[in-house]
Structure formats: structure tokens, C-alpha cells
């Protein structure tokens, strides 16, 4: 058989492209890991379409992934976040901020949101934030009379802030997919991330006014156990160092002082120094952090490598043209097409992880908007905020699974689902604001000349 001939010349390219996407979902449903599902569906359909010639193109694509300098920032930022978790610095943050805000109705919930912001700006790892907050804060919230649903919703939603607040793993991978600068996306995501955090805070404050029994204040005798002077010292000792680390990392990237990989190295080293200064850095902690970093990084890179035959085959089979023809029937012009993309991503978020959506769905649609001259930075942040909801949407939202795994027996799956619904609505409100007011995302990159 000649290498340049199709195995089944009678089979149309668009049919193979649809079979490849359908085969991928079928493999996922049967429980095959996502990386293997991507590789198998891409290799089989690509071979049927191109013959053995497909395998001549793959090495260069895989080599491009493993030698991508920007992607080196991924394990470094993961190390930074896991170090803050394993050394219990995140636990100290939550306890200290909780005591400082405990006099407010919903004060503990507000503390969880603020810690979610800080942890998100330290690592971008949803699992670490949700598990840490779930282990530390869920039982105290329930003990103090918080509604079960509100407690679960606040913890899950705060954990997802790491997906939009830089440095975010989502933003790093989106920069690679869309050909944008990591620093540009970090700058563009800063205000949308703070906007979502502010909307969460407003919701909790609204509960404190309208439904105070669901978010009671910490009892006064418990708050008085720590004097104002001691509390101030704890705030300076516990809260300021992580904030300083975050400012150093993000400031160096957004300010153009350091490349993302260099800033990630600074963050990883700085998190180790913070653990050392607090007396929490030991060989056991370092081993746990290294192991968790290795396993998470290996998972991400395995999926990245396995996605190459899928994307290569889909493009070669003309899948992009098929999607463009489909988009031509969407009413409302370019704005209607963007809304259609947002709807597709939101629905896919009920069933797929963000990394699967990013490397399967996005490459199908992005060429349409790139050729239309749309600001791809704005599109990237819209996508990132949309993907953030995939961690909360049942039945396969990973934040829900993370929390259920560490929740006490009295917390039911229904409590978790009920608690996240208001926050999903809030995220959709934030997404709408970003759609109608693109300057929320584009102002800072334009102001600093990115």
C-alpha cells in the first residue's frame, strides 16, 4: 500500500472527522482515560484517512509539546501551590482571616473566598484549594450553624477562582492553544477574576442581610479568645508573606520583568522559603510536594501529547471547514457565533474536564474568530471564565468530587449540588458582563502595552 494513499478512499473526510469525535466520546463513556481516548480515536481515524503517512507528522508535533519553554511554567506553578497546601500555610491563612472577619454575618464564608483568591493567585490548582478548605473549614462552618448548601457552595466556588485568577494553568494552556502571550492573558484575566470574587462576596453579604441564619457570625466569646494585638501580629506574619509572593510573581510577569517560566521558578523557590521560615519544611513535606507535582504535571503533559494525533487528524480531515460551515447557519452574525461557542462550552462542561474541552472543542472553533479579526485575548478570557463553571456543573464537576471526598458524613451530594447552583448563576452573570463589556479583560493589557 502506498504511503500517500488513503486506506479507505471511498470514505469521505467529513464522515471520518465526525466518526473520530463520536469515537472519542464513546471511549470516554466506557471509562477509557481521556488521554488514551484522544490518542486511539485520532490515530485510528487518521490512519483510515491518510494511511501510514500520519505517523511521519506526529514526531514533530510531540517534540513541539515537550520542548515548549512556556509549558515549563506548569510544574513550577503546581509546585508552588502544592507547597502552600502541604506545609499548611493555606490552613493558617484560612484560620487567621476567618478570625479577623468572624464578627460579620458570613465572615467565615468571606474568609474562604479571600483565601480562594490568594490560593488561586499562588497556584491555580482547584483540587488543592477545595480539598484544603473542605478539610479545614467545612466542619467549623457546620458547627457554627452555617447552612450545609451555602457552606459547600462557598468552598467549591472559591476553589474554582484559581482557574481564572493568574497564574492559572488554564491560562497557560490557552496561551499555547491560541498562540497568545502568557503575560497578556495573565494581565487580561486579573480584573475578571477579581470581578467574580467581588460578585461572590456580594452574594454572601446579601445572605447575611436577607437570610442571616444561613451565615451566622462567629460567637463573640470565641473571637475574644485572641486579642486585637495578637490578631494583628498573626495577620502580618501569616497573610502578608503569601501576598508578597503573589505580587512578586504576577508583578514580574505583567510588568515584563520576567518571563512566565522565570516567574514560576521564583514562585516555587519562594513558597519553599515561606515553608522553611514557618518551620514547616521537612524532607517528608518536600517528598509529598514533589510527588504531587510530578503526578499532576505528568497527567497534564500526557493529555497534551495524546491530543496531538487527534488535532492533527481532525484538521487534516477537514474538520475545521465542517465547523465553519456549521457556524454559517448560526443567526446573529459574529456575536451570535461567540454566544453559540459559549453555549457549547457550557454544555460540554457538564460532562468533560476543562483540559479535554480546551484541546478538543476549542481548536475546532478558534480559526473562525481569528479569521474574523476578533480580539483573541477577549475570546480567551471568555473561554476561561466559561471553563471555570465546568468545575461546578453537575454531574461531573471536579470541585464537587473533591469536596465530597473530604466532606463529613452529614453532607450529602444533594447539599453540594444545591449549594453550587447560585454560584454557577453568579459566574454566568460575570460571563455576561465580560461579553457586553470587553474592556474588563482588554483594558489592562492595552494599558501596559502587551
pLDDT in tens, 223-258: 666 567 777 777 788 778 888 887 888 788 777 788
Range among 28-42, 122-136, 198-212 rated most confident: 198-212
Q: What is the dihedral of CA 248, 253, 257, 259, to 10 degrees?
A: 120
Q: How far apart are CA 224 and CA 220, in angstroms?
A: 6
Per-chain mean pLDDT for the chain: 81
**Least trusted range by pLDDT, from 58-62, 96-100, 192-196, 444-448:** 96-100
pLDDT of residue 213: 86
Q: How large is the average pLDDT for residues 56-61?
A: 80
Q: Name the more confident of 335 and 203.
A: 203
pLDDT of residue 3: 46
Q: How large is the average pLDDT for residues 294-304?
A: 81
Nearest to 318 by CA among 50, 51, 63, 25: 50
Is residue 297 domain-resident?
yes
Q: How large is the average pLDDT for residues 403-415?
A: 82
Residue 135's H or E segment, with its range, is helix 126-143
pLDDT of residue 297: 82
Answer whether residue 10 shows pLDDT above 60.
no
Is residue 96 domain-resident?
yes
Q: How large is the average pLDDT for residues 274-300?
A: 86
Question: pLDDT category, 1, cuts 50, 70, 90?
Answer: very low
Q: What is the 3-state secondary structure (H, E, C) of 426-450?
A: HHHHHHHHHHHCCHHHHHHHHHCCC
Considering its fold, how many domains does the chain have in total? 1
Is residue 231 domain-resident?
yes
Residue 107 is part of which domain span? 70-301+387-447
Its pTM stands at 0.79
Is the bond into 132 cis (omega within 30 degrees of 0)? no
Count Cβ atoms below 10 Å from residue 65 Cβ, excluding itself.
15
pLDDT tens string 88-119: 777 777 777 777 776 778 888 888 888 888 77
pLDDT tens string 122-150: 666 666 667 767 777 788 788 878 899 99
Is residue 340 domain-resident?
no
Is residue 372 domain-resident?
no
User: Contact, 282 vs 218, CB < 8 A?
Assistant: no
User: Nearest 5 degrees, angle CA 72-CA 351-CA 54?
Assistant: 55
Q: How large is the average pLDDT for residues 281-287?
A: 89
User: Contact, 65 vs 304, CB < 8 A?
Assistant: yes
Q: How large is the average pLDDT for residues 210-231?
A: 74
Is residue 81 domain-resident?
yes
pLDDT of residue 424: 93
Relative orientation angle of helices 89-100 and 107-120, to the nearest 10 degrees: 140
pLDDT of residue 449: 64
Q: How large is the average pLDDT for residues 278-293?
A: 87
How far is residue 87 from each of residues 43, 169, 265, 275, 329, measured CA to CA in Å? 43, 21, 18, 6, 54
Is residue 233 domain-resident?
yes
Q: How far apart are CA 313 and CA 7, in angstroms?
A: 14
Is residue 35 domain-resident?
no
Amino acid at each position: 500500500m502506498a504511503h500517500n494513499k488513503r486506506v479507505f478512499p471511498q470514505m469521505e473526510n467529513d464522515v471520518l472527522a465526525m466518526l473520530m469525535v463520536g469515537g472519542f466520546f464513546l471511549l470516554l463513556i466506557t471509562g477509557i482515560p481521556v488521554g488514551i481516548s484522544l490518542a486511539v480515536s485520532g490515530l485510528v481515524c487518521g490512519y483510515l484517512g491518510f494511511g501510514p503517512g500520519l505517523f511521519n507528522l506526529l514526531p514533530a508535533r510531540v517534540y513541539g509539546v515537550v520542548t515548549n519553554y512556556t509549558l515549563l511554567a506548569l510544574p513550577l506553578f503546581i509546585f508552588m501551590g502544592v507547597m502552600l497546601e502541604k506545609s499548611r500555610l493555606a490552613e493558617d491563612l484560612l484560620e487567621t482571616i476567618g478570625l479577623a472577619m468572624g464578627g460579620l454575618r458570613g465572615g467565615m464564608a468571606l474568609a474562604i473566598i479571600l483565601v480562594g483568591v490568594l490560593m488561586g493567585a499562588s497556584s491555580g490548582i482547584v483540587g488543592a484549594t477545595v480539598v484544603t478548605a473542605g478539610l479545614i473549614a467545612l466542619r467549623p462552618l457546620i458547627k457554627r450553624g452555617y447552612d450545609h448548601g451555602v457552606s459547600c457552595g462557598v468552598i467549591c466556588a472559591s476553589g474554582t477562582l484559581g482557574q481564572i485568577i493568574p497564574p492559572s494553568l488554564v491560562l497557560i494552556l490557552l496561551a499555547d492553544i491560541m498562540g497568545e502571550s502568557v503575560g497578556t492573558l495573565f494581565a487580561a484575566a486579573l480584573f475578571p477574576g477579581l470581578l467574580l470574587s467581588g460578585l461572590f462576596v456580594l452574594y454572601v453579604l446579601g445572605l447575611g442581610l436577607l437570610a442571616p441564619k444561613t451565615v451566622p457570625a462567629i460567637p463573640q466569646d470565641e473571637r475574644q479568645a485572641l486579642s486585637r494585638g495578637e490578631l494583628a501580629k498573626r495577620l502580618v506574619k501569616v497573610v502578608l508573606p503569601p501576598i508578597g509572593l503573589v505580587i512578586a510573581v504576577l508583578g514580574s510577569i505583567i510588568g515584563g520583568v520576567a518571563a512566565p517560566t522565570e516567574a514560576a521558578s521564583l514562585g516555587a523557590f519562594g513558597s519553599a522559603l515561606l515553608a522553611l521560615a514557618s518551620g514547616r519544611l521537612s524532607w517528608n513535606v518536600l517528598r509529598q510536594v514533589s510527588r504531587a507535582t510530578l503526578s499532576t504535571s505528568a497527567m497534564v503533559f500526557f493529555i497534551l501529547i495524546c491530543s496531538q494525533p487527534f488535532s492533527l487528524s481532525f484538521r487534516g480531515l477537514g474538520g475545521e471547514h465542517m465547523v465553519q460551515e456549521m457556524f454559517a447557519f448560526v443567526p446573529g452574525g459574529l456575536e451570535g457565533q461567540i454566544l453559540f461557542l459559549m453555549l457549547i462550552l457550557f454544555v460540554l462542561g457538564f460532562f468533560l474536564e476543562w483540559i479535554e474541552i480546551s484541546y478538543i472543542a476549542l481548536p475546532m472553533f478558534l480559526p473562525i474568530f481569528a479569521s474574523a479579526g476578533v480580539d483573541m485575548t477577549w475570546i480567551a478570557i471568555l473561554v476561561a471564565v466559561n471553563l471555570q463553571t465546568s468545575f461546578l456543573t453537575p454531574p461531573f464537576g471536579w470541585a464537587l468530587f473533591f469536596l465530597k471526598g473530604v466532606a463529613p458524613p452529614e453532607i450529602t451530594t444533594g447539599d453540594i449540588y444545591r449549594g453550587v447552583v447560585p454560584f454557577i448563576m453568579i459566574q454566568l452573570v460575570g460571563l455576561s458582563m465580560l461579553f457586553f463589556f470587553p474592556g474588563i479583560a482588554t483594558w489592562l493589557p492595552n494599558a501596559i502595552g502587551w
